[in-house]
Amino acid sequence: MPELPTPDSAGCCGPLDARAADRDTATALARTFKALADPARVQLLSIVAAQDGAEACVCDLTEPLGLAQPTVSHHLKILVDAGLLAREQRGRWAYFSLVPGALSSLAAGLAEQVPTHQG
Amino acid sequence: MPELPTPDSAGCCGPLDARAADRDTATALARTFKALADPARVQLLSIVAAQDGAEACVCDLTEPLGLAQPTVSHHLKILVDAGLLAREQRGRWAYFSLVPGALSSLAAGLAEQVPTHQG
């Protein structure tokens, strides 16, 4: 339960100042969405998510996308940097797994970043 | 149309052919994520979502972002085109409301686009 909103938030306009603090969060969220703003990366994430244990070898990811392995590795790196996939090297190959809850927390992040201030 | 997966995909590689059908879905999802790949648009969506009735007048959206109204209108149009916001003209001002379920179906879309094929 939130305490009372700021006393000067009379009616329509709400606590505008509170939103400035959300700018960093918005920037972080936008960066994650940018990682997903590419069909190949959406496909990679989906394919990894659909595997047993939500994990796939990079060697299994090039063929379904019809892309060269350096290109696939480039896309995978962007997904790892965005915190959506985790990478683990095992001998010759790198394995990629879905970071649990990353997608749902991404959706929740949007809803959470602005505190509710309805009367 | 291949009937069977490649015979040498023993174990590890799953039904790769099924994934080709997901390319259009991935493209559509990526387009929506691209609409969210900008901090100003994430903030706009959040501010609208936090209003009473998840609706806001464009006149209330310029100040919290510190952007000119044409710029805000440009970002809002991208969010409307992506199906995340709905626009309604009322007299002089346009009102924008969150499309119910758009964000959650976006997250679900990723999980849904690849059929589960775990054994």
Tell me the per-residue pLDDT of A88-98, one tens digit each, with 9 for 90 and over. Answer: 999 999 999 98
Indicate if the pLDDT at residue B107 is higher than 80. no
CATH architecture, domain defined by B20-104: Orthogonal Bundle (1.10)
CA-angle at B30, arms to B28 and B34, nearest 5°: 120
**DSSP assignment of B59-91:** GGTHHHHT--HHHHHHHHHHHHHTTSEEEEEET
Q: Is B19 on the interface with A (CB under 8 A)?
A: yes
- Give A4's pLDDT tier (boundaries 50, 70, 90): very low
What three-state secondary structure class fits A90? strand
The tokens describing A108, both together, are: 């929740």
Indicate if the pLDDT at residue B83 is higher than 80. yes
Percentage of residues of chain B with pLDDT beyond 90:
44
Percentage of residues of chain A with pLDDT beyond 90:
43
Q: Report the pLDDT value the prediction gives residue B14, as an integer from 0 to 100.
A: 47
A37 contacts B43? CB cut-off 8 A = no
Decide which of B112 and A5 is more confident.
B112
What CATH number was assigned to the domain covering residues A22-112?
A: 1.10.10.10
Q: Is A42 exposed, middle or buried (0-12, 13-18, 19+ CB in 10 A)?
A: buried
Contact status, residue A81 vs residue A35, Cβ threshold 8 Å? yes
Q: Report the pLDDT value the prediction gives residue B13, as an integer from 0 to 100.
A: 47
Q: pLDDT of B18-69, one tens digit each? A: 454 478 888 988 999 999 999 999 999 988 988 888 899 998 999 988 899 9
B36-50 residues labelled b (16+ CB within 10 A) or e (exposed): bbbbbbbbbbbbbbb
The tokens describing B93, both together, are: 């001002």
The tokens describing A88, both together, are: 């683990």
B39 contacts A110? CB cut-off 8 A = no
Query: Phi-psi bin for A101: left (phi > 0), alpha (psi -120 to 50), beta?
Result: left
The sign of the dihedral angle between the CA atoms of A107, A109, A110, A115 is positive
Task: Kindly report the nearest CA distance between residue B55 and chain A, in angstroms.
Answer: 11
Q: pLDDT of A39-90, one tens digit each? A: 999 999 988 988 888 899 998 899 888 899 999 999 999 999 999 999 999 9
Smallest Cβ–Cβ distance between A60 and the set B12, B26, B104 belongs to B12
Alpha helices (H) in chain A, listed in sequence order: 16-20, 23-35, 39-50, 62-65, 69-81, 102-112
- Which residues lie below 8 Å from residue A41, measured CB to CB, with a gap of 6+? A35, A75, A78, A79, B30
Instruction: Sort out which chain B residues have CB atoms less than 8 A from A107's CB and list them.
Output: 103-104, 106-107
